[in-house]
Structure 1
């Protein structure tokens, strides 16, 4: 472990309100191959038994990767994201593709709590953005948004069982997507159970330094919070192939269903 204490860093709790500008968003738009989206949608439709025309909430939806793909498969989709740039991109891409999802700018907890959705998806490791009080509020909102018997998929790469085995503080890594190069490293705040990811995005003469913060929860804790929010039949997988999650797997896909009336 490094001698640096990441708890000294002044990373605001709402860091995500400023992080997702054009350069980071464009990097992630390029970074995910189309076949990954297809396999994720296959998993979502299969595990949640989605029928054609299902009403689906995608929150947060980012630049609309899943929102547009679900819409293209015939579902009635509402996407919610706090990044205006990402939402504008999603709307433009939908128009180009002839799709008509509803995509709105809002914080992830600001979702309709009217029980009108057959399913909700929270993809892209967004769950860890929220500290415990915020997470409880978000899961409660999801429980109110989804109809009894409806389903939920959560994509989370900051589970304690994923992050901590073999963790090396400050290990550098470089990733390129076209002409965008990203240098990053992670530090772990033991006192706060937080993962701080520092990034430097470079595209030509453009350079952006930014830090993301993910709260680290155990799977048992997430299961308890989901149950408290009215979910049952909670299962955990290591990826869209449906393989069971094991300690050290880098990705967790949780599925759950809203308690039937």
Structure 2
């Protein structure tokens, strides 16, 4: 199973049905809480220029723009960007939304901050992640902020992990059956999903590379970031072994 998952799985994963499930699954108050965290923890000044990458269907992009920031959202999913453009128009906000790979971002130091939300930090292998963080450092001005949201830290994934434990979720008329397996040799978490809405069925596998907190902190420091802090949630909770979510903040040196 692990050998059959391509390294660029995310290129084709995010079609309408998986995207629509996650759009429905996240309540508006969660987005508000996460944007509060971003604005507070990196002291985001009014009317800042913010890069949201990858931006998915644009929930953070639009929320930040509604607070007066100038936001550029980048995502590889044409469907997600199309939805984000419609949602931005409905919300009456002006945002710049681009279909591109997450490493393909402006290297002009023009952004006051960048955010990488929704667990996408683990999509890339170590070399690819180094390229991405290097690109982020080139995009952010000196002194600018970075926020990373990651749920595949080793300290989150491994305590009590059981291969192929079933997980079923339903949102409206969409049902998802899922399970996780762990590739020990590659330190990779593979999440197998079966999305169903009526007669429409999509079966896909997501791959997340698992990194320790120490490895992520070293990577950020090596790529030019400082003042690195970690949290266990948008409320500023401490991150400990078994905490299901890691939020990292840093500043461009």
TM-score normalised to structure 1 length: 0.96
Q: Which runs of 5+ in 2 are unaligned?
A: none
Distance in 1, Cα, partners of 2:186 & 2:103: 22
Alignment partner, residue 140 of structure 1: 134
Match of 1:200 among 194, 200, 216: 194
Task: Pick from 83, 87, 102 the counterpart of residue 96 of structure 2.
Answer: 102
Q: Aligned to 2:242, what secondary structure does the other structure show?
A: coil
User: Deviation of residue 51 (structure 1)?
Assistant: 1.3
- What is the match of residue 175 of structure 2? 181
Residue from 104, 107, 112 that aligns with 1:113: 107
Q: In 2, Cα distance between the equivalents of 1:47 and 1:104?
A: 26
TM-score (norm 2): 0.99
Does residue 219 in structure 1 map to residue 216 in structure 2? Answer: no
1:250 maps to 2:230: no
Q: Displacement of 1:33 after TM fit? A: 0.5
Q: 2:147 & 2:25 partners in 1: Cα distance?
A: 21
Question: 5+ residue gaps in structure 1?
Answer: 1-5
Runs of 4+ in 1 over 4 A off after TM superposition: none
Q: 3-state DSSP class of the match of 2:71? A: strand
1:24 aligns to what? 18
The Cα of 1:244 is off from its aligned counterpart by: 1.1
What is residue 63 of structure 2 aligned with on the other side? 69
CA distance in 1, matches of 2:55, 2:43: 21
| TM-fit CA distance, 1:222 | 0.4
Q: Aligned partners of 2:90 and 2:211: how far apart in 1? A: 39
- Name the residue aligned to 1:40: 34
Structure 1 CA distance for aligned equivalents of residues 80 and 35 of structure 2: 20
